[in-house]
Amino acid sequence: SGVSGWVAANRSVIRRAEPVLDLGTIAHDFDLRSCVSAPVFVRSELFGALTVYIAEPAMSDETSADVGLLAQEVGLAIARGATPLQLHLRAAGRTPVAAAS
């Protein structure tokens, strides 16, 4: 349901969405104002949605594109059977992003 559910159902990225649609009142507790969500595919099958929440009113287009790229990387890593440590090491050189799905 919510933003992540819409992304999974439509297999499409959504930007500048309201975090409250996913998180309910907890979004207000953490002062989250915007989110972007991208589908995660593993071997061309939908695996889930990667949703990133921020306290700013909107994410930049560059950050939104980074979330899409991160979703692709997560799908590829899952397909390859990567461990959480391997995922962490691969991401070490990239822009830090806090995410939940």
Residues 6+ apart with CB under 8 A from 51: 3, 4, 7, 22, 35, 36, 37, 38, 99, 100, 101
- Render pLDDT for 51-93 as a digit per residue (tens, 0 to 9): 999 998 878 899 899 999 999 999 998 888 866 666 566 666 5
Cut 0.85: pTM above it: no
3-class SS of residue 54: strand
Cα dist. 17→2, 11, 60, 70 in Å?
10, 16, 13, 18
20-38 pLDDT tens trace: 999 999 999 999 999 999 9
Binned at pLDDT 50, 70 and 90, residue 101 comes out as very low
